[in-house]
Amino acid sequence: MRATLIDFALMAKILIALIISLSSVAQAADPLCYQKERNPNTRQAFASADEYDAFRGDWADQNPGTGNPFSLIKAYNVYKSEKNKAEKMGTDKLAHCYIGCRISQETSYHTADYVGWLKEDRDITDCNYNTRFDEDDYKATARGAQFGESARDAAACESSCKQVYK
């Protein structure tokens, strides 16, 4: 019976991850979404759907490829458990680096890299002018993921990231 409950909980998490990933496709279908998103180059709303679509296409071309669904669930759990600590570190880039490092330690560089890319993809496709796409956030997450390949624990992640993002 216990194994069945664990299997059910795991399947529920996978289903939630799938629904979330499909919802970003549905959000992008909003024909006026471009008016609700900020162009990172001009810091104003996108001027046209074509401009927005071109930007999104360029960003999509940088997609490092999705990871193993089980690794993505584990990455989400790492994020949930480390989020408060990361937010208290002082800077946004330091928080991104730290989370990338911790996810990489617990899963893989590839998973952490994808999660960093996906977070920014969500920011540019959520049709919310107040969320900000920031490619430098993605780069900080990826840098942290590199540190995570050799960092032995959370303290090493924090130390490595603080050397770069003070």
pLDDT at 25 over 60: no
pLDDT at 30: 78
What is the percentage of the chain residues whose pLDDT exceeds 70? 83
pLDDT at 27: 47
pLDDT at 15: 52
pLDDT at 1: 46
pLDDT digit string, tens, across residues 132-156:
999 999 999 999 999 999 999 999 9
Helix 109-125 to helix 135-148 angle (10° resolution) is 170
**CA–CA–CA angle 59, 142, 89 (5° rounding):** 115
pLDDT at 9 over 70: no
**Residues 102, 73, 96, 139, CA torsion sign:** positive
pLDDT at 77: 97
Other residues' Cβ atoms within 10 Å of the Cβ of residue 125: 24
Of the two residues 67 and 134, the one the predictor is more confident about is: 134
User: What's the pLDDT band for 21 if we cut at 50, 70, 90?
Assistant: low
pLDDT digit string, tens, across residues 34-61:
999 999 999 999 999 999 999 999 999 9
pLDDT at 63: 96
| Cβ-based burial of 73 (10 A; exposed 0-12, middle 13-18, buried ≥19) | middle
User: 3-state class of 38 per DSSP?
Assistant: strand
User: What's the pLDDT band for 4 if we cut at 50, 70, 90?
Assistant: very low
Residues 100 and 44: their CA atoms lie apart, in Å, by: 29
